[in-house]
Every structure is written in C-alpha cells, then in structure tokens.
A and B are shown apart, each in its own frame.
Chain A
Amino acid sequence: MESSESGTLNGQRTEGNSSRAGGGAISVGQRVDRVSDTAQEAWSRTRETVNELKERLDIDGRVRRNPYGTMAAALGIGYVLGGGFFSPLTARLFRFGLRIGIRLAAIPFLENEIRGFAEAVVTGSEDDEGESASSSGEGKRSQQKGSKGGKR
C-alpha cells in the first residue's frame, strides 16, 4: 500500500513536474518567439527610418549630382566626430584656408586699384603732355608773334 501510495504520489509528482517542465518549455519558446518578433519589428522600423532619412536627405541624388562634394562632407563629418575639430591641425588648415581666401579676395580688389591708379597716371601724364604741348605751342606762337612783330 505504501508503495502504491508512494507510487501515486510519485506519479503525481512526476506529472506535476512534467507539467511544470512543459509549461516552462512553452514559456521559453514563447519568449523566444516574442524576442524574435520584437527584433524583427525593431529591424523593420530601423530600416523604415533609414529609408525615410535617405529620402528626406536625398543622399543618392546628392551623391549623383556632386559626388566629390558629398564625399568631402562625409569626410568632414567623420573628422569632427573623431574629435579633430579642436586640434592644432584644424587650426593650421583654417589659417591656411583663411590666407588663401584673403589672397583670392584681395587680388581682384588690388587689380582694380592698380588698374585705376595706372589709368589715372596715364591719363594724368597725357593731360600734362597735352597741357605742356598746348602751352609750348602758345609760347611758340607768342614767340613767333613777337618775332613777327619785331620783324615788322
């Protein structure tokens, strides 16, 4: 009797254990399913977001229109992200660029100024020559008049 009771007990126990184990296995499976579903959802959302961002930023179009410029911009973004913005190299590059920019901006200005100065000098000298020529012509005329008068 004892053995049968214990057997039943054991049977109940084993049943309980098996049911518990079965329930645990299902729950683990469900969990795995849920996790995979969540991961898939997250992946699809990320893809959608990336596609939306791509469409909004029009990266492909930008790359097609100006490939080198886009690459340079990407390089610059990476440079800033890498912490190179506040570095001696950046300061040097900035100074170099500033110098070149100032020179490029100053050259047309200086060219115009020099041209204007040269024109002013040339026209001034021409005027002077004209004036001197006219004055010398008048002098010659007066001299001629004087000489004519003297002759008379």
Chain B
Amino acid sequence: MEMTEQFEKTARELEDRIRPQIEEAKKKVSDLNERAVGYIKENPGKCLLGAVAAGYIIGRIASR
C-alpha cells in the first residue's frame, strides 16, 4: 500500500511539473502554425514557388 501511495505521489508530482511545460509547448506550436498559415495565405505565390523549388532540389538530389 505504501509503495502504491508513494508511486502515485511521484506520478502526481511529475505530472504537475511536466504539465505546464507541455501546455507551453502546445501554445508555441499552435502560434507557429498560425503564423505559418498566415504567411502562406498572405504570400501564396512566393510560398508555392518556394515549395516547387524545394521539391525540385530534393528530386534532383534523390535522382543522383
């Protein structure tokens, strides 16, 4: 019983410690996603050309 309680306590502590970090990482990722989507929507031509160029280079490298 003591072992289980100790384990539960450690798990809770770990969760309390990790949860804010996970939340922060989630927020950062969602911010990054929003910024990327916004940039793509603002400059569709640039992004499309860049993507085609990147694909072309990757294809060139892969074909060697």
Contacts and interface: CB of A to CB of B under 8 A. Distances in A.
Interface of A: 59-60, 63-64, 67-68, 70-72, 74-90
B37 interface: yes
Given A78-B55, A79-B55, A81-B55, A59 B44 contact: yes
B60 A82 contact: yes
Contacts of A79: 55-56, 58-59, 62
Q: Chain A at the B interface: mostly helix, strand, loop or mixed? A: helix
B59 A74 contact: no
A59 B48 contact: yes
Interface residues of B, number: 22
A49 B46 CA distance: 18
A63 B55 contact: no
B32 interface: no
Nearest to A61: B44
A78 B47 CA distance: 13
A80 to B, nearest CB: 7
Contacts of A84: 55, 58-63
B11 interface: no
A79 B57 CA distance: 7
Given A75-B55, A76-B55, A81-B52, A67 B41 contact: yes
B54 A78 contact: yes
Interface in B12-61: 36-37, 40-41, 44-45, 47-49, 51-61
**4 shortest A-B CB distances, which residue pairs?**
A78-B55, A82-B59, A84-B59, A74-B51
A81 B56 contact: yes
